[in-house]
Amino acid sequence: MSRYSNHAPPLLDRLQKLAQSIALDIEAGRPIDPAEPPRVHKLDERLDSETMARVVAEYEAGGSSESIGALFCLSKRSVIKILREAGVKVRYPRMTEAELRRATMLYSEGNSLVEVGKRLGREHSTIYKALKRAGVRMRDTHGRE
């Protein structure tokens, strides 16, 4: 092994220590924990139909996808996926005129899209799309003119 790898001595040391640790556990009669079962990532395998229906009901009652995600320990993206699969039209809150004016002013002052987004509590991609829709000339992202 050492012929082909620069990491062989430290790796061999770690493997020997691990083998000694396992041997000591076996001698002491301590059970060796089996590997954790694989984590299920698919939503339809993790959630039952009743939970998915509750997610849809919460959204239709006016809850945001973020708050619903926090309630059910899901990501915002997972909540939106459940809603779309259930045929629910997803709301996209547009920026108000006041927010758009403030974003335009901040961006024209030289702030980045990320900085403008942080100040307005929005994602940078939302700021970008709103400014483009409003006809604001966007700067080159690499600082070129």
| Per-residue pLDDT tens over the stretch 59-111 | 999 988 889 999 988 988 899 999 999 999 888 777 889 999 999 999 999 99
Tokens of 131: 């400014």
Q: Are 76 and 63 in contact (CB under 8 A)?
A: no
Residue 33 pLDDT: 66
Q: Are 134 and 104 in contact (CB under 8 A)?
A: yes
pTM given for the model: 0.46
DSSP 103: H
Residue 134 has pLDDT above 60, yes or no: yes
Q: Alpha-carbon distance 79 to 72, whole Å?
A: 9
Tokens of 107: 């961006």
- What is the rounded average pLDDT for all residues in the chain? 84
Q: Alpha-carbon distance 61 to 30, whole Å?
A: 52
